[in-house]
Structure 1
Amino acid sequence: MGGLSQGWERADRRTADEMIAEARKALFVMFGFMAAIWALQVVNWLSDYRLDMDFGVIPRDMDRLPGILVSPFLHFGWSHIEANSGPLFIFGFLAAYRGVVRFVWLTLLVAMTSGLAVWLFQGADTMSVGASGVIFGYFGYVVLRGLFDRRLVDALIGVVMAASFAYLVTVAVPGTPGVSWLAHLGGLVGGMIGAYLLRDGRGSAPVAGATPPTALDRRGTPPASPDPGRAELHKELRDLGLL
């Protein structure tokens, strides 16, 4: 049993170390992400917001369709980018700390679903820019990720975020005045889809030193293999310091 215990301890340390390394990487990525968005805002401001005019999403204008991947990183003014920066950093970090590559794919997905919702369904004679649709995408992803990945830590984070920011859903419903609720709703749906499509495909490969030798029970048959789901739950509880 000593070898089994030491094997699980090594697995727990490895899991915790990997999580810390990914969180550190996500922090640097988000600082760079925010710096790039603010740099674009400076360029936009210096050019009298010419970037908005050139890349803003205009519904059903074929020439503006590529703008759906650019418009989330542009803003109409300083108050606009200031309002988006805090939520973008928080939800972006929570979305990125399980893997930066996955985060990049998620960002592309929610930018597309948010932009397409505006391009297809928003009223004519409007133009949309801003990161709020991406923010809603990150929010939907963070809330559901733990359910699809079956990670206790992420599920708890999702519950806390859902309870703390439930009011966000109120500006993603039809008829919300003063905002592009279609961008919010499109991003939210994209984030929820992303939680499923980008779910963790972890295997059940044994950890070195963690598998005990085969033994026979009283009836002379090998004992049942440990439940991988229960073992994973135990590891998540250890990460939280509950075991």
Structure 2
Amino acid sequence: MTKTVKLVFSLDVLVYPLLFVLSLWLVFWVEVRFGVNFNRYGIYPLHAEGLIGILTGPFIHSGLEHLFNNSVPLLVLSMGLFYFYRSIRWRVVILGVLLTGLMTWLIGRPAMHIGASGVVYMLTSFLFFKGAFSRHYRLMAIALIVVFLYGGFIWYLFPIDPKISWEGHISGFAVGLVLALLLRPKKPPVARYAWESPNYNPDDDEFMQQFDDDGNFIGDLPKEEQAEEEPIKIIYRFRSRKDDL
């Protein structure tokens, strides 16, 4: 019986996060190339003119080191979000950015708060808490990976450096936790095995044809693929919108 493995590549899992990160670098390049400073478009707490920074602040950085330190985790974490939480990813991004910026505007010190670190903390918090609450092994695994990679971020939730917007960090962390509690994605499909079925009968050829030699359910495969005696097949395809969870 043929074993068929489907490797599904979702292009948007890479494209959208990469575009977001590249937009940060584009803004920084414009500042350097034309000698302009966009810091005035950051979040200035409790001032009406500072509200624009909720939308523009994440794109503005104070220097190359600041930009690089935010770019790598932003790319990694947003790819994790887009892959594992397809059904709610845009709600997490939009609500996360807006609420993080608004909370920073409400609790921040009277200074310009710039950079995407608040968004990074929001994604870190969401992926960790959502995975921990899910009780699904794949989502719990990504939560543990987040802790392993970015657990050190916890120290910057406190005012240990006056040059760092810890208010933006704690805002993102709190918003990520709230979104993890409130937003409910579609559950990942659970593997089905022959012996888990109430109709399990190893002597029933028609029933057993729905499963491969290891007991994995393959009932949705064409009959001719199930019957062929061939090496393992690997099917490559790009994910379309209808495949999203």
How does the TM-score come out when normalised to structure 1? 0.69
Report matched runs for 1:1-243 at 5 Å: 20-22=8-10, 24-53=11-40, 55-100=41-86, 102-124=88-110, 126-202=111-187
The 3 A distance-change label for structure 1 pair 80 and 213 is closer
The 3 A distance-change label for structure 1 pair 67 and 118 is same
The answer as to whether partners of 1:26 and 1:99 remain within 8 angstroms in 2 is no
Deviation at 1:184, TM superposition (A): 0.5
How does the TM-score come out when normalised to structure 2? 0.69
The 3 A distance-change label for structure 1 pair 184 and 34 is same
Looking at structure 1, the residues matched to 115 and 104 of structure 2 have their Cα atoms a distance apart, in angstroms, of 12
Runs of 4+ in 1 over 4 A off after TM superposition: 211-215
Q: Deviations over 1:181-240 (max 9, x none)?
A: 010010011112222233224499xx9xxx96879xxxxxxxxxxxxxxxxxx99xxxxx
Higher helix share: 1
- Structure 2 residue matching 1:57: 3-state secondary structure: coil
Q: Deviations over 1:81-112 (max 9, x none)?
A: 11211111111111221245632321222222
Deviation at 1:175, TM superposition (A): 4.6
**Greater relative contact order: 1 or 2 (C-alpha under 8 angstroms, separation 6 or more)?**
2
The 3 A distance-change label for structure 1 pair 165 and 58 is same
The answer as to whether partners of 1:72 and 1:132 remain within 8 angstroms in 2 is yes
- The one-letter amino acid of 2:178's match is I
The 3 A distance-change label for structure 1 pair 77 and 101 is farther
* Alignment length (residue pairs): 201
The 3 A distance-change label for structure 1 pair 183 and 49 is farther
Percent identity over the alignment is 24
Looking at structure 2, the residues matched to 189 and 212 of structure 1 have their Cα atoms a distance apart, in angstroms, of 42
Looking at structure 2, the residues matched to 72 and 176 of structure 1 have their Cα atoms a distance apart, in angstroms, of 19
Q: Deviations over 1:149-205 (max 9, x none)?
A: 43211101202321442211110124544310010010011112222233224499x
Gaps of 5+ in 1: 1-5, 216-233, 236-243
The 3 A distance-change label for structure 1 pair 213 and 87 is closer
Gaps of 5+ in 2: 201-215, 218-245
Looking at structure 2, the residues matched to 43 and 26 of structure 1 have their Cα atoms a distance apart, in angstroms, of 27
The answer as to whether partners of 1:141 and 1:192 remain within 8 angstroms in 2 is yes
The 3 A distance-change label for structure 1 pair 202 and 94 is closer
Higher strand share: 2
